[in-house]
Copies of this chain bind each other. A is one copy, B any other.
Amino acid sequence: MPNDFNVKTLGKAIVKSPLKFPSENVNLEFGFIDTNDRVLYNTTLSHFNQTTTKGETPISFEKAGPHKNLYFNSAKTKVAIVSCGGLCPGVNNVIQSLVNQLYFRYNVKQIVGIRYGFEGFIAKYNHSTVELTPQGVDKIHLFGGTLLGTSRGEQDVALIVDALCAQKVNILFCIGGDGTLRGAHAIHQEIVRRKLSIAIAGIPKTIDNDISFIDKSFGFETAFTIANDIIRYAHNEAIGAYNGIAIVKLMGRNSGFIAAHAALSIHEVNFVLVPEVAFDLSGPHGFLDALQKRLENRHHALIVVAEGAGQNFFDSASLEKDASGNIKNKDIGLYLKDKISEEFESKKFRFTTKYIDPSYIIRSAPANANDSKFCGLLAQNAVHAAMAGKTDFVVGNWNSHFTLIPIPVAVSEQKRINENGELWWNVLETTGQPVSMKG
């Protein structure tokens, strides 16, 4: 558990915010944020009682929201926005809302888009920047992808800070995942080392929903929504053939949240395989045996597998990494397809398999309505915080509140499905799959 949940600030905020509230002189429920008010991490009564009994201060997160006083002076502020890593539904919504919020609410008119991720800061790649205006980002929220382009991989932090200085950037918004946020933190550290006053704000992007201390990340709901349709169609493939088996591989490098939520939203899935829950293929309780039993009873089977499941089947020495340093998973979907074929052919057990990998269709889709709303509010809160001089933070949400979390906290550990927790139990209950497919 990290121990410092306090967000850093560049310095004293003394510029009056241009934002207005409906009725400033009445007793408001909502207005400029009080940094002292925080959101509890654990919200059970038992934890309340324990903490109180011990006289401890419970862990809490800073609430996000508009600040009465700003660190940056709108007229002189220049902002840069960069998106990194893989595509995720909602990136364009975030970019658009950052631009609109800065432009219309905070009167910040100098906004540049950095092209193709952190590469865009590095001269040798020769990417030009894009001036961002409300008109230029109009309608982009209706498309998937990212207007700015993206790339994977680390870049030289010193060169990035050089570029920020050269371009006189005051605030950098980084839309990206784990790796990007570590990069953003390194940039922040270099800024501190150079004693600069540049704010680094993170908008966490993980379609896998695997960032700790954040209830849900943008794009995640859109992802399992689209997966839902695809799984229904895969189900048609399974029932269309005698002993038909449909395997759908979904995103989830280290955590199976998309697979689990998709299975909970459509009740026809028979097996969910995720990185967090190990399973054997062979053996009396192994997956292949369970699959055969299912086929013998019902003559079709629908399998959803997260890309990071069953990586233990691959020789770890051979695992490659992508440009972001993420381990490139071996294709567990194809592996299962092959192993099923081997097994059932050797047994002369009739079957048909259909393997479906819709990842690129899902991650490049536009955000659904709920994610659109969420992206808009995330971006607005990121702007509120950055204008007030907060830095080295990500904007998150917890228990229906938008929050600010230090980047080191957000990247301290990945959120994963608890094999003994409620979510996984719900998956077991819904699929009817064996509690354990080990041994």
Residues of chain A having any CB pair with chain B under 8 Å: 20-23, 26-30, 36-40, 43-46, 48, 52, 58, 60, 63, 65, 87, 96-97, 100, 104-105, 115-116, 119, 125, 127, 139, 141-146, 149-151, 215, 221, 224-225, 227-228, 230, 233-237, 239-242, 244, 246, 261-262, 264-267, 354-358, 360-361, 364-365, 368-370, 372-373, 376-377, 380, 399-401, 418-422, 424-426, 428-430, 432, 435-436
Contacts and interface: CB of A to CB of B under 8 A. Distances in A.
Contacts of A60: 45
A228 B372 contact: yes
Contact of A422 (B29, B143, B356): B29
A399 B43 contact: yes
Given A119-B242, A144-B233, 8 more contacts: A22-B420, A22-B428, A30-B425, A48-B48, A141-B267, A145-B236, A246-B360, A266-B372
Contacts of A435: 20-23
Contacts of A235: 145
Contacts of A373: 261, 264-265
Contacts of A22: 419-420, 424-425, 428, 435-436
A119 B241 CA distance: 11
12 contacts: A40-B40, A40-B48, A43-B399, A48-B58, A87-B237, A143-B236, A144-B236, A145-B239, A151-B242, A233-B364, A237-B360, A355-B360
Contact of A242 (B40, B116, B354, B370): B116
A233 B144 CA distance: 7
B44 A39 contact: yes
A46 B23 CA distance: 23
A370 to B, nearest CB: 6
Q: Which of A48, A224, A380 has the most CB of B within 10 A?
A: A48
